[in-house]
Amino acid sequence: MIDTPTHSQKSQTKRNSSKGDKVTMSRLIIIVCDLLAVVGAVSCIFALRQSEFVMNLSVSAGARFQPETFVFFLVASLFLLPLFSFNQLYRHKVLINWAEQVTRIIRAYLTFGLTLIVILFFLKDSPLIISTRGFLLGVTGFGILFVSLERMVIASLVRKKILFAHGIGPLRALVVGAGRAGEKFALRVLNDPIVGIEDLWFVDDDDKKADKRILGFPVLKGVNNIVNHAITTGADEIYVAINSIDPDRLLEIIEICKKAGLPVKVASKHFRIMAPSNGNGRDVDALEMPSQMAIRPGVMAKRVFDIVFATFFIFLTLLPGLIIALLIKLSSRGPVFYPSKRVGKGGKSFYMIKFRTMNVNDTREHQEAAKERLKQGKHMGKVEDDPRIFAVGKFLRKYSIDEIPQFINVLIGEMSVVGPRPCLAYEMDFFDDWHKRRFHVLPGITGLWQVTGRQMDGLLLNDAMTLDVYYAENYTIWMDIKILLKTVPVVLFGYGGK
């Protein structure tokens, strides 16, 4: 229940309304700047295309310029603004970080370009299509450049609080958890204005704390009522700040908070391995959860991406694979491939294919050593200096070349390119119930703990499972691409390969 408004609270409401107007005005200013940058890019390409050199080049290539092309792209570019909004380019946490803005600008322009390609396919009989190909590349390239430069200026103004002073960014937040972690968060809000939160409400299930105030902020009752609390308070963001809680319950609370349709961030020791660096002072060491809008369309896109990527990679590595197979046969007696029985999506067993890197012998001693590590709460990982590994196998494992045949598992549909690593059956004996959420998705060749935890000595089992469960419940196609990009240096430099 929220307190009955007093005179001071009514005054605060008026001030909030005034600030809301300033937020709208500030965002309009940035939208206008974006529009000028977008239109500027199209105009620049048009001017370049009108130059004598480019005109002669186009005529010789049979792509005579059509004036309608300029009008077409000018109108089409207006639809970039909703794409910018969809990619959260008008939120404070993005506005303050130029590098993050560039990533989202590229994503928006790629979506724009792919959409236009589909539209132009259905207009293939139109004379418009003749002069569009080069223009599309130019508009995309110049657009990314122009908008990125414009946003660099915007980011600078926000960091200097020139724009921030006018109210850009979320002003109200719900903090789930009125314990020590929640109080620590509230102190940060009070002492650091750049956090950008002016009004805050705690939400807690503890009856003793309900309807009271902590550090001057009211406590609302009922985490399950978070959707109603979000509407009543007009919150812009939800923070989950709880440490003393069962991980399974924490994950349930996060899912409940997502139903409010607001950005959800977690500041908890349970996610410490994924806590972002606090370089700009804005995100108070909180991990943002992807929205349901970003997650749900990713299922089909992920499968299509897996098939295309796996097919391309198998074709690319076909000849090197034959050479590797020959080296394995020359180095050690036994088969080229090693089928390892693993547990996949939904707890179903399958055989994961790898290049054999070990001599064929009894594996019971290795299993006992792995079980001992798991009993100690450590992640099994790869055993260092395993005497069963032959010379060529050691090289293959260091650079993860032994994993290449798993792309066959990806094509079959037993694995994904990115996902939690498939575990062995005996490892499941050491899993808590919340660990098993990792089986909601297909296991992957690479994943979050490979690019995060693989470079850490003594990675704990709980930390590895946190990374896997976070991925399983929050993955998007863009997260997959980021993980793949991070995998490249890990593989090339052999980090953590044994």
Neighbouring-strand partners of residue 173: 200, 237
Section 359-380 average pLDDT? 70
Section 6-10 average pLDDT? 41
Q: Is the predicted pLDDT of residue 272 greater than 70, yes or no?
A: yes
Band of residue 17 on the pLDDT scale cut at 50, 70, 90: very low
Section 396-416 average pLDDT? 93
Q: Match domain 170-289 to its CATH number in 1.20.1740.10, 3.40.50.720, 3.40.47.10, 3.40.190.10.
A: 3.40.50.720
Mean pLDDT of the chain: 80
DSSP per residue over 398-463, as a string? HTTGGGTTHHHHHHHTS-EEESSPPBPGGGGGG--GGGGGGGGS--EEE-HHHHTTTTSTT-BHHH
Q: What is the pLDDT of residue 261?
A: 79
Q: How far apart are CA 375 and CA 429, in angstroms?
A: 10
> ∠ at Cα 408 (413, 399), nearest 5°?
120
Band of residue 362 on the pLDDT scale cut at 50, 70, 90: low
Helix axes 98-122, 133-159, angle to 10 degrees: 160
Section 320-346 average pLDDT? 92
Q: What is the pLDDT of residue 445?
A: 95
Section 174-181 average pLDDT? 93
Section 218-223 average pLDDT? 93
Q: What is the pLDDT of residue 132?
A: 60
More confident residue, 275 or 207: 207
Q: What is the pLDDT of residue 71?
A: 81
Neighbouring-strand partners of residue 425: none
Give the residue extent of every domain in the chain. Answer: 7-165, 170-289, 298-492
Q: Which two tokens stand for residue 37?
A: 């940058």
Residue from 421, 431, 476 nearest 452 by CA: 421
Neighbouring-strand partners of residue 353: 339
Least confident of 17-21, 39-43, 343-347, 350-354: 17-21
Band of residue 193 on the pLDDT scale cut at 50, 70, 90: low
The residue type found at 470 is: Y
Band of residue 9 on the pLDDT scale cut at 50, 70, 90: very low
Q: Is the predicted pLDDT of residue 11 greater than 80, yes or no?
A: no
Residue 258: left (phi > 0), alpha (psi -120 to 50), or beta?
alpha
Q: What is the pLDDT of residue 143?
A: 92
Q: What is the pLDDT of residue 355?
A: 95
Task: Say if CB 98 and CB 118 are below 8 A apart.
Answer: no
Q: What is the pLDDT of residue 188?
A: 86
Q: How far apart are CA 126 and CA 211, in angstroms?
A: 66
Q: How far apart are CA 352 and CA 407, in angstroms?
A: 10
- The pTM score is 0.65
Least confident of 171-175, 254-258, 373-377: 373-377
Helix axes 247-258, 461-474, angle to 10 degrees: 20
Q: Is the predicted pLDDT of residue 215 greater than 60, yes or no?
A: yes
Q: What is the pLDDT of residue 118?
A: 77
Task: Say if CB 260 and CB 289 are below 8 A apart.
Answer: no
Q: What is the pLDDT of residue 8?
A: 39
Helix axes 298-316, 318-331, angle to 10 degrees: 60
Q: What is the pLDDT of residue 90?
A: 83
Q: Is the predicted pLDDT of residue 408 greater than 70, yes or no?
A: yes
Q: What is the pLDDT of residue 129?
A: 53
Q: Is the predicted pLDDT of residue 336 greater than 50, yes or no?
A: yes
Q: Is the predicted pLDDT of residue 184 greater than 70, yes or no?
A: yes
Q: Is the predicted pLDDT of residue 375 greater than 50, yes or no?
A: yes
Q: How far apart are CA 399 and CA 394, in angstroms?
A: 9
The residue type found at 442 is: L
Band of residue 305 on the pLDDT scale cut at 50, 70, 90: confident
Band of residue 114 on the pLDDT scale cut at 50, 70, 90: confident
Section 76-83 average pLDDT? 88
